């Protein structure tokens, strides 16, 4: 079992299915305060991404630390996320990151890890825990039907699946333009309540012309899950943008680290 100091900085999901372990990291190293500051990454914390200008050796160390709290013999499959809608089927772990924004597996000892710093992590499993999936739920993958694409590659029926939505930028902080809103409304008018028009936009720059809306990623993903037949959905509703002491946020900080949401069969 993880030690108490690890529990403080790792959010374990109370998974509503058998034989599944799921968790999401925070910006804090799981071993703090026992890690010396000189060993921390550029962002002073538990960054797990290799594409944000951080020290390579410290990222590798952080990933080994994450692996150490997973079941023995587990290997983590990492991904090169492109904000697209491609889904990978993982039968064995590659040491090279796989280009995809979602993945599924039926294999034991494989952990799927989705990295985020405002986008919505979505984890799925069957009720028996014999098939799992992880989805990078940014607005582009969601409008590209990445959830539907994932279900199309799973053997299980939607009614047999449970879902968990992790921390992401909240509905009071995620400002988008009219063009984003229109892409979702073209999918379905039911997405319209996910967008609240801003009287006083948060972004005041020359590039921010036109109407601005606050977008609700959790609403969008939940509606899509329900439309696809997945009604057993739970949440960790933390806002990455507003909880600066706990989470990385690209929208808030620009260059920053990444958390990981991980799911594996046990």
Structural domains of the chain sorted by starting position, each given as residue range(s) with its CATH number in brackets: 4-170+229-265 (3.60.140.10), 175-215 (no CATH)
Q: Tens digit of pLDDT for each residue in 30-76?
A: 875 555 454 555 556 899 988 887 788 889 999 999 999 999 999 99
Distances (CA, A) of 66 to 27, 119, 181, 257: 12, 20, 37, 15
Q: What is the pLDDT of residue 209?
A: 66
Q: What is the pLDDT of residue 1?
A: 28
pTM > 0.75: yes or no: yes
Distance (Å, rounded) from C-alpha 166 to C-alpha 22? Answer: 11
Evaluate whether 30 touches 6 at the Cβ level (below 8 Å). yes
Low-confidence ranges of the chain (pLDDT < 50): 1-6, 36, 38, 204-206
């Amino acid at each position: 079992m993880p030690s108490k100091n690890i529990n403080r900085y790792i959010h374990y999901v109370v998974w509503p299915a058998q034989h599944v372990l799921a968790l999401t990291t925070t910006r804090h190293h799981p071993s703090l305060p026992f890690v010396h500051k000189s060993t921390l990454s550029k962002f002073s914390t538990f960054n797990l991404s290799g594409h944000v200008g951080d020290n390579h050796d410290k990222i590798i160390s952080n990933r080994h630390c994450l692996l150490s709290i997973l079941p023995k013999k587990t290997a983590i499959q990492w991904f090169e996320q492109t904000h697209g809608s491609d889904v990978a089927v993982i039968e064995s772990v590659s040491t090279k990151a796989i280009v995809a924004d979602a993945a599924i597996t039926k294999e034991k000892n494989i952990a799927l890890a989705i990295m985020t710093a405002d986008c919505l992590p979505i984890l799925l499993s069957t009720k028996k825990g014999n098939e799992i999936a992880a989805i990078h739920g940014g607005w582009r993958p969601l409008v590209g039907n990445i959830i539907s694409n994932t279900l199309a590659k799973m053997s299980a029926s939607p009614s047999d699946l449970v879902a968990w939505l992790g921390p992401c930028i909240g509905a009071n902080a995620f400002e988008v333009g009219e063009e984003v809103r229109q892409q979702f409304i073209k999918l379905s008018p039911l997405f319209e309540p996910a967008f609240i028009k801003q009287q006083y936009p948060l972004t005041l720059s020359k590039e921010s012309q036109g109407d601005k809306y606050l977008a609700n990623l959790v609403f969008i993903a939940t509606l899509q899950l329900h439309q696809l037949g997945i009604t057993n959905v739970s949440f960790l509703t933390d806002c990455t943008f507003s909880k600066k002491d706990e989470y990385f946020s690209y929208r808030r900080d620009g260059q920053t680290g990444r958390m990981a949401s991980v799911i594996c069969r046990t």
